[in-house]
């Protein structure tokens, strides 16, 4: 079910499509909105998000057994991220998580909410937990800063790009120089009926602005950077969403095997696109090295400082120095790659040299 945000009635609002259907892509001035969002003076309507709630005294220990994240010691107000994986270690669901002491809130993409709630309900067995898809009654607002006037609202703070407890970085840059540090990110849970009153006269930015900042921060998104074969290692999600030393969960064997002994078959890269053509390729466009297809563009945006930028998932074997071309139909775009996930990621047992540093 697509939920139409009341903020679409604001002057200049142009509805987004795809995963963000139901909210505004922009309000008439995309780059100005992006600058305001980056500066913290604007907020973005994310009513397109799904919200799943888990209540009951067994909720955290139960989620701990099902997910990639250590949940048993999560304290009220603390934010984290978790993955639900297949037996083969592939990402099935990715959730932003915050607990208020009585309810665990899972903020997900719209397409995840109903399937995730259904799957969790089937996994309850005799445990004291209740699961609900609360997407129709709760909305989400995003900001790059904490909003003092919203101090009473429950807020999820993105752990990216910090390396969480039990996590591991597959990036070639240190945590202190990661571009994600330039994009603090907060998602506020707001009763849907109070969305307009909560926003008030605060400046709004569209989701195009949020996407551009996300791409520049190298932050993967479920449904964009993921497909039915994605494993967490390929997107550097061991950093924030996986606890490597917690107890058993579905998919753990693959996570451990690739991390310790193997290499992920693909890797996430950031692409700086040639901006001289006044157009941008669409997500899904081919990435080529010479005449050979080596990957796919997953997200693309016009950044207010860098121009056209993209994320792409490419084969691990692609030379980091190789010039790439993005091809959309018959239109080629020169692309300079920046490494996000190192080509030699994984195989940490016995590691001495290579792109990656040792474990944190």
Question: Which residues are annotated binding-site positions for substrate?
Answer: 187
Q: How many CB atoms lie within 10 A of CB 28?
A: 13
CA distances from 33 to 37, 197, 207, 279 (A): 6, 20, 10, 20
Query: DSSP letters along 313-345, please?
Result: EEETTS-TT--EEEEETTEEEEEEEEESS-TT-
Degrees, nearest 5: CA angle 229-106-108: 45
User: Do the beta carbons of residue 234 and residue 341 sit within 8 Å?
Assistant: yes
User: Do the beta carbons of residue 355 and residue 344 sit within 8 Å?
Assistant: yes
Chain centroid to CA 165: 19
DSSP secondary-structure letter at 110? H
Q: How far, in Å, CA of 264 to CA of 345, rounded?
A: 7
Q: Which residues are part of a known binding site?
A: 187
Q: How many CB atoms lie within 10 A of CB 76?
A: 11
What sections of 269-317 are H helices per DSSP?
none
Structure tokens at 27: 């309000």
Nearest to 314 by CA among 283, 337, 346, 347: 337
User: Do the beta carbons of residue 231 and residue 290 sit within 8 Å?
Assistant: no
Q: How far, in Å, CA of 318 to CA of 320, rounded?
A: 6
The widest CA-to-CA distance across the chain, in whole angstroms, is: 60
R_g of the chain computed on alpha carbons: 20
Q: How many CB atoms lie within 10 A of CB 276?
A: 9
User: Do the beta carbons of residue 286 and residue 326 sit within 8 Å?
Assistant: yes
């Amino acid at each position: 079910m697509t939920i139409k945000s009341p903020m679409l009635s604001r002057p200049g609002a142009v509805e987004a499509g795809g995963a963000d259907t139901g909210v505004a892509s922009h309000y008439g001035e995309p780059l100005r909105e992006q600058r305001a969002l980056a500066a913290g003076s604007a907020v973005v309507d994310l009513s397109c998000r799904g919200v799943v709630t888990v209540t009951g005294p067994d909720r955290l220990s139960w989620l701990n057994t099902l997910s990639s994240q250590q949940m048993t010691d999560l304290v009220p107000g603390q934010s984290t991220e978790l993955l639900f994986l297949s037996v083969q270690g592939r990402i099935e669901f990715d959730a932003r998580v915050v607990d208020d002491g009585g309810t665990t809130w899972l903020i997900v993409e719209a397409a995840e909410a109903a399937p995730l709630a259904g799957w969790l309900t089937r996994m309850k067995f005799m445990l004291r937990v209740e699961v609900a898809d609360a997407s129709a009654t709760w909305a989400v607002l995003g900001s790059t800063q904490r909003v003092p006037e919203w101090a009473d609202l429950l807020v999820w703070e993105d752990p990216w790009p910090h390396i969480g407890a039990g996590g591991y970085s597959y990036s070639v840059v240190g945590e202190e120089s990661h571009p994600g540090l330039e994009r603090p990110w907060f998602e506020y849970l707001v009763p849907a009926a109070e969305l307009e009153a909560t926003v008030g006269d605060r400046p709004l930015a569209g989701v195009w602005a949020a996407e551009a900042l996300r791409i520049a921060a190298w932050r993967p998104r479920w449904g964009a950077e993921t497909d039915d074969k994605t494993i967490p290692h390929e997107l550097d999600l061991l950093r924030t969403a996986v606890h490597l030393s917690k107890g058993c969960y579905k998919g753990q064997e693959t996570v451990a095997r690739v991390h310790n002994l193997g290499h992920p078959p693909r890797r996430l890269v950031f692409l700086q696109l040639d901006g001289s053509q006044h157009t941008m390729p669409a997500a899904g466009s081919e990435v080529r090295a010479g005449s050979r297809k080596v990957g796919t563009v997953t997200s693309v945006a016009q950044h207010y400082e860098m121009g056209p930028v993209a994320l792409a998932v490419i084969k691990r074997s692609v030379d980091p120095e190789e010039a790439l071309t993005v091809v959309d139909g018959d239109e080629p775009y020169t692309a300079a790659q920046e490494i996000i996930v190192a080509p030699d990621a994984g195989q940490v047992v016995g590691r001495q040299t290579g792109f990656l540093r040792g474990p944190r």
